[in-house]
Amino acid sequence: MQKHTISAIICLAGALVAAAIAGASFLAMRKPDLIVRGPGVTDVKMLSDWFPGLKGTPGDTEVYILKGADDGASMLVLGGTHPNEPAGHIAAIMLIENAQPKSGTLYVIPRANASGFTANDPQEGAPQSFTIQTPNGPRVFRYGSRATNPIHQWPDPNVYIHASSGQTLSGSETRNLNRGYPGRPDGTLTERVCYGIVQLIKKENVTITVDLHEASPEYPVINAIVAHPKAMQLASDMVLGLEMQDIKISLEPSPVNLRGLTHRELGDFTDTLPVLMETANASQGRLRGRTDEALVLTGKDKWYVRAEKLGRLYVPYDEKGHPLEERVGRHVTAISELMNSWNLEHPEKPLEFEGLPGYEDFLTKGIGVFLLPLPAKN
Amino acid sequence: MFYIYLAILAIVLALTVWVLFDTKKLSLQVTAAMVIVPLLLRLLMIK
Ligand SMILES: [Zn+2]
């Protein structure tokens, strides 16, 4: 055998080994995190139960239902619309594992874009997962991609045309769940997930829909609630409720000409009152330094401290960062306040849930104590 | 469309493997080996 043939075989073997190691690591990301059914969970369904077109696809996702003994209003909480925004995802899990319904029904979708949890964004250097320590041992959660996994929806068009408005965006936005509403039953996987969520809202007559997000500290809409005009009264009551607890949050009206987002399309196409909330996540920001699990968990980043001093940010930023417990605490407290605001105006049709930790609980005790132990492996 | 992309990908992968065995330059062989990794992962729809 010639010398160059031998070296070619060695190189090919090296490539196959590298592909096998990388492939195993990528495939491991497709296994969803374990979420524990809390004491208030009365049923777990799949989104395909409302839209069978999702059955068997990587877009199908769990819907946790917490139904109270008394009738009341209903709320849908979307976590993981963008799987690189961990506070939204973890806040949804907090509801599933802690909330105990009295009146009304809570629907929680912790992985709204389930496909996005199976991959990372390329060239971001983001961790594949992060670990939260609990009294019962560590719990691991995936840090995913902002968008649907290209393996599940590929190739992207050059220009993404939003179906119902004709709005054009860059091609990769075709995989952004929060640009695809109200969705189409025969559209892309992302549009079908949007369509499934809209079907759930319509069929269950969901009163309020909350879409949980995070944003880069340099993004203007941050520590904010964005509300559809129909939900403006509810949202402004909630802002007052948070102010009473010294939690600053700004209220933004949903822009009329920004299409495909929950706070716009769910209000236009269904009877629900939609709001979207943002907290400050340095690990998705453009000014960040080292991107690792610690950044996801603590938000501590010297470059953001510097950017703050230069007046480039829309949130206060110091050496203490914005830890995950603060961000999750904001989301969970805001959801409690939304319920309170609703109940003030609609005492005949209340939304009453117990067991939700308050903002101070998160700041003083952390997140881990509110995560349930995983079932023993057998 | 999806299958056209996969076919193009398979052709590029085959050509890369062909270059790997055809060339006598070690640096080109190593380069070809590195190119094979992402092509293979996409052809198998892993990444
Ligand atoms: Zn987001």
Write the DSSP string, A51-74. -GGGTTSTT--EEEEEE-SEEEEE
Reported ipTM: 0.95
Instruction: Tell me how far the alpha carbon of residue A353 lies from the centroid of ligand 1, in angstroms.
Output: 26
CB-CB neighbors (< 8 A) of A24 in chain B:
none
Interface mutation target, options A2, A3, A11, chain B, most CBs of B under 10 Å: A11
The answer as to whether A210 is a domain residue is yes
Range of the domain at A285: 36-370
User: What average pLDDT does the segment B14-36 reach?
Assistant: 96
Instruction: Tell me how far the alpha carbon of residue A93 lies from the centroid of ligand 1, in angstroms.
Output: 17
The answer as to whether A13 is a domain residue is no
Asked if the Cβ–Cβ distance from B5 to A119 is below 8 Å, we say no
The answer as to whether A133 is a domain residue is yes
Supply the pLDDT for residue A154. Answer: 87
User: What average pLDDT does the segment A327-356 reach?
Assistant: 97
- The percentage of residues in chain B with a pLDDT greater than 90, rounded to a whole number, is 91
Interface mutation target, options A1, A3, A7, A16, chain B, most CBs of B under 10 Å: A7
At A247-281, the pLDDT tens digits run: 999 999 999 999 999 999 999 999 999 999 999 99
Euclidean distance between CA atoms A79 and A108, whole angstroms: 8
Euclidean distance between CA atoms A83 and A284, whole angstroms: 11
What confidence tier does A376 reach under pLDDT thresholds 50, 70, 90?
Answer: confident
What confidence tier does A378 reach under pLDDT thresholds 50, 70, 90?
Answer: low
The answer as to whether A287 is a domain residue is yes
Asked if the Cβ–Cβ distance from A12 to B33 is below 8 Å, we say yes
Q: Is A12 on the interface with B (CB under 8 A)?
A: yes
What value does the mean pLDDT of chain A take? 96
Please report, for the domain that includes residue A197, its CATH number. 3.40.630
Only one residue has tokens 């031998």, namely A6
Supply the pLDDT for residue A94. Answer: 98
A68 to chain B, minimum CA–CA distance in Å? Answer: 42
Q: Is A20 on the interface with B (CB under 8 A)?
A: no
Number of separate domains in chain A: 1
Asked if the Cβ–Cβ distance from A154 to B46 is below 8 Å, we say no
The answer as to whether A18 is a domain residue is no
Asked if the Cβ–Cβ distance from A151 to B45 is below 8 Å, we say yes
Supply the pLDDT for residue A199. Answer: 98
Q: Taking the CA atoms of chain A, what radius of gyration do you get in angstroms? A: 21
Q: CA nearest B22: which of A79, A40, A2, A280?
A: A2
The phi, psi pair for A167, rounded to 5°, reads -55, 135
* Residue A366, phi-psi category: left (phi > 0), alpha (psi -120 to 50), beta (remainder): left
Q: CA nearest A271: which of A328, A209, A341, A222?
A: A209
The answer as to whether A338 is a domain residue is yes
The answer as to whether A17 is a domain residue is no
Q: Is A19 on the interface with B (CB under 8 A)?
A: yes
Supply the pLDDT for residue A377. Answer: 72
Supply the pLDDT for residue A369. Answer: 98
Supply the pLDDT for residue A167. Answer: 97
Q: Rounded to two decimals, what is the model's pTM? A: 0.94
The answer as to whether A234 is a domain residue is yes
At A133-174, the pLDDT tens digits run: 999 999 999 999 999 999 999 889 999 999 999 999 999 999
Supply the pLDDT for residue A359. Answer: 97
Distances (CA, A) of A351 to A91, A141, A206: 18, 29, 12
Cβ pairs bridging A and B (under 8 Å): 51
Angle between helices B2-22 and B26-43 (to 10 degrees): 160
- The percentage of residues in chain A with a pLDDT greater than 70, rounded to a whole number, is 100
User: What average pLDDT does the segment A285-314 reach?
Assistant: 95
B23 to chain A, minimum CA–CA distance in Å? Answer: 7
Supply the pLDDT for residue B2. Answer: 83
What confidence tier does A1 reach under pLDDT thresholds 50, 70, 90?
Answer: confident
- B47, closest residue in chain A (CA to CA): A151
Q: Is B26 on the interface with A (CB under 8 A)?
A: yes
Euclidean distance between CA atoms A163 and A194, whole angstroms: 12
CB-CB neighbors (< 8 A) of B46 in chain A:
23, 26-27, 151
